[in-house]
Structure 1
Amino acid sequence: MSIIKRPILTEKTQELQKGGQYVFEVAVKSNKIEIAKEIKKMYGVDVESVNTLRQFGKKKSRSTKSKITTGYTSTFKKAVITVAKGEVIDFYEGI
Structure 2
Amino acid sequence: MDIYSIIKKPIFTEKALNLKEGQNKVVVEVHPEANKVQIKKAFEELFKVKVDKVNVINIKPRVKRVGFYFTKTNKAKKAIITLKPGEKLDLIEGA
Query: In which range does the TM-score fall when normalised by the shorter chain?
Result: 0.7 to 0.9
The one-letter amino acid of 2:27's match is: V
Instruction: List 4+ stretches of structure 1 deviating above 2 A.
Output: 90-93
- Count of residues paired in the alignment: 89
The structure carrying a bigger helix percent of its residues is: 2
Q: How has the CA–CA distance of structure 1 residues 13 and 92 changed in structure 2, closer, same or farther, with 3 Å as cutoff? A: closer
Q: Which residue matches 1:36?
A: 40
Give % identity: 36
TM-score (norm 2): 0.87
The structure with the largest alpha-carbon Rg is 1
User: What is the aligned-residue RMSD (CA, Å)?
Assistant: 1.3
Give CA deviations for 1:25-77 in whole Å, capped at 9, x if unaligned.
Answer: 111111111110111111111100000011111111022xxxx1111110101
Unaligned runs of 5+ in 2: none
Q: Which residue of 1 aligns with 2:12?
A: 9
For residues 14-25 of structure 1, the aligned pairs below 5 Å read 14-18=17-21, 19-25=23-29
